[in-house]
Amino acid sequence: MEKNKLFLRLLGFYFLFTMAFVHATSTPLFTLEPITPTSIPVPSNGTAVVQYTVTNMSSKPHTLKMVPITGMAQVTNVGNCADSFALTSKQSCTLTLQVNGAQMSPHYKGGPIVCQQGPNGKPNPNQCYQPSAANVLNVTVATPSVPTLYVGTQNGVYYSIDDGTTWVGTNPPAGGSAISSVVALSTILYAGSINGTVYSSFNNGTTWSPIVSPAPGYAVNALYVSANYKLYIASANGSIFICSLNGKNCTTTTPPATGFAVNAIFVATNALYAASANGLVYYSNNNGVTWVAINGQPDGSAVSSVYVAANTLYVGTANEYVYTSTSLTGGGAWTPYAQTVYSLFVNAAGSVVYAGTQGGFIYSLISGNEVGFVTYGPINSLYQLG
């Protein structure tokens, strides 16, 4: 009798060991690989974004759903995984999470967890996967953020957290090459260089990494991060590249004007705008598949910047003029707005309109006041975060 009990115990241990070994060595049905850093601070009054690539590793199609996390909203617009997302074998999508510091606990670690969707439309807890231990979410709520103004210059990137009173120079991202464009999220700072490379920094410019050279030999003229968290890159070769936030998986649009550099881009809801070296502004309602030149040439010189704010289109030109139009899709005219503007920034509400000059100064075009002096030389690019 005792021998039988011992045999059953040994058999049970063998079964448990075998199952554990199979689970540990088998290929997961779904994988989650990080696109952005997953250990991040988020300001208590702001947001941050985290992205993963979710891949169906099985030979069968699966419909997946993420387990909700308090304080994190899944971004489900075009270009991202849907709320419930069906993936065929080896197919992937981008899982994008917007983290809201005001709704988070002081520290959160774990997940995101993606599961097979059950018959009730909810995640099936018996078939779930999450990233490896090194890549799970690790979010810490930080002190409130303040508006930060970034500029790209001939000798690098500078920023100010006191409305332009003082400026801090980051480590040069491009080894001495001029910076033609800067754009930022709360946890990622991007710089585009005339050397043709885009750089990113996760520590506000202390260190930089080259992430993509979309058209080697051609300057990166402009950068833009869209509402669905895609990185748009305007190139001097006349193309616009649409990439993931880590600079990978890039696709190209149809050139707005073949043979002419794209100097600036703006992404609005269901609209893409391109500023061309041929002196025209182009509009696309299908993310760059087709383009239409709108409103004619503002002044005959190359268009160097383009923004849409409060139902108004703002453009800057190589003649250092700024023009506006309320005709966002064509059929209108341009109205002179300002002059002696080398670079331009307009926030989403149209309540901040900044001009950078060739002499290193920044001015508010709304108040007419000087914002600050940055450095001797042109201000190539402006961006305000917050």
In which band, very low, low, confident or very high, does the pLDDT at 145 lie, cut at 50, 70 and 90? confident
End of a domain among 85, 118, 142?
142
Does some domain include residue 2? no
Do 80 and 215 sit in the same domain of this protein?
Answer: no
Do 103 and 193 sit in the same domain of this protein?
Answer: no
> Which has more pLDDT, 372 or 79?
372
Does some domain include residue 7? no
DSSP class per residue in 59-115: SS-EEEEEPPBTTEEEE-STTS--SEEEE-TT-EEEEEEEEEGGGS-SEEE----EE
Please state the domain count of the chain: 2
Does some domain include residue 363? yes
Provide the CATH number for the domain around residue 68: 2.60.40.10
231, with CB counted inside 10 A (0-12, 13-18, 19+), is: buried
Instruction: Quick: pLDDT tens for 146-189.
Output: 899 999 999 999 999 999 999 999 999 998 899 999 999 999 99
Instruction: Quick: pLDDT tens for 28-51.
Output: 889 999 999 999 999 999 999 999
> Which has more pLDDT, 13 or 83?
83
Do 152 and 134 sit in the same domain of this protein?
Answer: no
Does some domain include residue 18? no
Do 334 and 304 sit in the same domain of this protein?
Answer: yes
Do 99 and 177 sit in the same domain of this protein?
Answer: no
Do 100 and 246 sit in the same domain of this protein?
Answer: no
Is 271 within 8 Å of 284 (Cβ atoms)?
A: yes
Is 207 within 8 Å of 196 (Cβ atoms)?
A: no
Domain span at 137: 28-142
pTM, whole model, 2 decimals?
Answer: 0.89
Instruction: Kindly report whether the peptide bond that precedes residue 112 is cis, defined as omega within 30 degrees of 0.
Output: yes
Do 240 and 368 sit in the same domain of this protein?
Answer: yes
Instruction: Quick: pLDDT tens for 187-221.
Output: 999 999 999 999 999 999 999 999 999 999 999 99
Instruction: Quick: pLDDT tens for 250-301.
Output: 999 999 999 999 999 999 988 999 999 999 999 999 999 999 999 999 999 9
Does some domain include residue 153? yes
Position 106 pLDDT exceeds 50: yes
Does some domain include residue 1? no
Provide the CATH number for the domain around residue 308: 2.120.10.30
Position 351 pLDDT exceeds 80: yes
Do 226 and 94 sit in the same domain of this protein?
Answer: no
End of a domain among 121, 142, 163?
142
Distances (CA, A) of 295 to 101, 205, 265, 308, 342: 42, 39, 17, 14, 22
Residue 212's identity, in one-letter code, is V
Does some domain include residue 4? no
Secondary structure letter of residue 133 according to DSSP? G
Do 365 and 282 sit in the same domain of this protein?
Answer: yes
Does some domain include residue 307? yes
Do 136 and 157 sit in the same domain of this protein?
Answer: no
End of a domain among 142, 164, 191?
142
Q: What percent of the chain has pLDDT over 90?
A: 88
Do 274 and 373 sit in the same domain of this protein?
Answer: yes
Do 85 and 182 sit in the same domain of this protein?
Answer: no
List phi, psi (to 5°) of 3: -65, -40
